[in-house]
Amino acid sequence: MVTYDGGANQPGAPRGGFVSRYLLRSDHKIIGLGHLWLALFSVFLGMGMSLVMRIHLVWPGAHILFFSTLADTSERYATLPLLHGSLMIFFVLTAAPQLGFGNYLLPLQIGAREMAFPALNLFSFWGSVISLVGMTAAFLAAPQDGVTIWIISISIFLASALCSAINFSVTAIDMRAKGMTLPRLPLTVWAWLVNAILGMLIFSILLAACAGLLSDRFFDTHFFPAASFLASQPSNIAADPLPALWQRLFWFFAQAEVYVAMLPCFGFVSHLIATFSRKPVWRERLVVLALCAVGLVGFCVWGQHMFSSGLNPFSPLVFSVLAASLGVPAAILVVSWLATLWKARIQLNTSLLFALGFVSLFLSGGISGIFLARHGIASGAVSEDFVAGHFHLVMGVAATFAILAALFFWFPTLFGRRLNESLGRTHFWLTFAGVYCVFMPMHWMGLVSQSAKNAGAKLSFIAAWIGPARSFITAGILVTIFAQGIFLFNFLWTLLRRERVEEGNPWRATTLEWTEASPPPPGEHGNREPAVYRGAYEFGVPGVSDDFIPQHVAPDRVAKAN
């Protein structure tokens, strides 16, 4: 058969050595998997860091392997949360749902054969790798050099993420197969698209701030002067607002970064709940609007982190209203998930369990977020355990649950195998109980220590519980990390076993990635372009023999029920 382009762009089976076959392949599937492997490495490293921090908090004198050999300074301890945070935020929460699953699945779901710019994609993947190496190296370097290396690594990551954001937007806008109109896009693709546009806007802001920081370090400029510098200046220089500049630029990025991590997760959860409820997404168009609204409002709420840092007195009101108005799209999403589940014949497997766990965590974390959107409470409780509990629950853990749900769901696509269900359920329940045991007491501790500050000695008897609560949290962390060991075993064992999935579409899903072989063959597979005839969530259509109609099935080919 003669292909359209005469086979010029059909590399077919990969040739060459290891380097050209894996390291320099611009195949979106290999790059997506690469990002997922980076995320897996980072999540276990970051989890180890948090364990070290908790152990240090409960048993300050404990000797920890390897860490005991490092210089015992407060700067060293400060780099620990820094590395934990940057690994988790950048390489797990930002990279896994967007760059990992997105790179792998976006072209498959829209019927494109590649991302719009494969070479750019390869470039941004290697940028991420270099950045990860740099950040880890920064931890081991002397504090001052370490911070410089860290800023350079962040800048490299941001530049790569910008390239990816451009690639994702263009792919979703211009590379769709025939018939894949915007209303027919799966919600995952919508989420990736909105997320790419949001990322494209905010990553540049942080990149500019990093350029300022680097210029301060290398050229002795004074964009963000250190407190010691300010103290040594004559008093006629208005010194106070200067640090606020860094906070402004940073939070402009960081508050929206929360939504960068969450948006693809919203897409996953809507997608999975519809598939396992065998029902269309409730009010699909409204959900799309809500995703766009999260992106738009998320871009405008940076000031809510600066209530305590001396902004214009009116701005807290504006940001409070904006931050609270994020509740509207969030509520639409939650109602849509619950309404889709309502009276459905639910297939409760591990993937859906994790998606439901996401909904639960998102709700409990979101409720404490409403408190934080109040100016009065936030200025009191900022930087307390309450905030740590809130954002870990809603951002870190909830997003991780969505990533795990997606991993269990798309494992057949990625590897042609299925993860073990019983191990998966054990993993889910232990993790679910563990994270609630860890982060709920943190909320309580934040509130108690805050009210103790206000009410003086009256609450001292409650304060006596703080120590045991700390130990309880550390015990919770041990359980949670043990549960991740089960996951790691399940993951590796499934990969090593040679038991492959026989059926191409084990979940009976509607989207285009399930029309490919599992896993899809390497290279720009398929010289035929799928045509799309219907929306992404046609489940339980009356008068049809099957309970779902895949997107590529033409109207006259749908099997009618008798």
Give, in order, the Cα–Cα distances in Å from 477 to each of 18, 48, 146, 437.
Answer: 39, 10, 28, 8
Site of tokens 């075993």: 489
Give the nearer residue to other proteins in terms of CB position, either 9 or 379. Answer: 9
Taking the complex as a whole, the smallest distance from the CB of residue 553 to other proteins amounts, in Å, to 5
Give, in order, the Cα–Cα distances in Å from 444 to each of 317, 361, 461.
Answer: 26, 16, 14
Residue 255 contacts residue 302 (beta carbons within 8 Å): yes
Q: Phi, psi (5° rounding) for residue 189? A: -65, -40
Give the nearer residue to other proteins in terms of CB position, either 499 or 556. Answer: 556
Give, in order, the Cα–Cα distances in Å from 84 to each of 143, 247, 386, 464.
Answer: 16, 20, 19, 29
Give the nearer residue to other proteins in terms of CB position, either 182 or 348. Answer: 182
Taking the complex as a whole, the smallest distance from the CB of residue 42 to other proteins amounts, in Å, to 25
With H, G, I as helix, E, B as strand and everything else as coil, classify residue 560.
Answer: strand
Q: Phi, psi (5° rounding) for residue 544? A: -115, 140
Q: What span, in angstroms and rounded, lies between the C-alpha atoms of 480 and 433?
A: 8
Q: What span, in angstroms and rounded, lies between the C-alpha atoms of 474 and 54?
A: 6
Give the nearer residue to other proteins in terms of CB position, either 14 or 241. Answer: 241
Give the nearer residue to other proteins in terms of CB position, either 44 or 117. Answer: 117
Give the nearer residue to other proteins in terms of CB position, either 42 or 551. Answer: 551
Q: What span, in angstroms and rounded, lies between the C-alpha atoms of 528 and 263?
A: 31
Taking the complex as a whole, the smallest distance from the CB of residue 12 to other proteins amounts, in Å, to 14
Taking the complex as a whole, the smallest distance from the CB of residue 211 to other proteins amounts, in Å, to 7
Residue 395 contacts residue 93 (beta carbons within 8 Å): yes
Per the DSSP assignment, residues forming a β-bridge with 560 are 544
With H, G, I as helix, E, B as strand and everything else as coil, classify residue 16.
Answer: coil
Residue 559 contacts residue 545 (beta carbons within 8 Å): yes
* H/E stretch holding 93: none
Give the nearer residue to other proteins in terms of CB position, either 326 or 512. Answer: 512
Give the nearer residue to other proteins in terms of CB position, either 27 or 384. Answer: 27
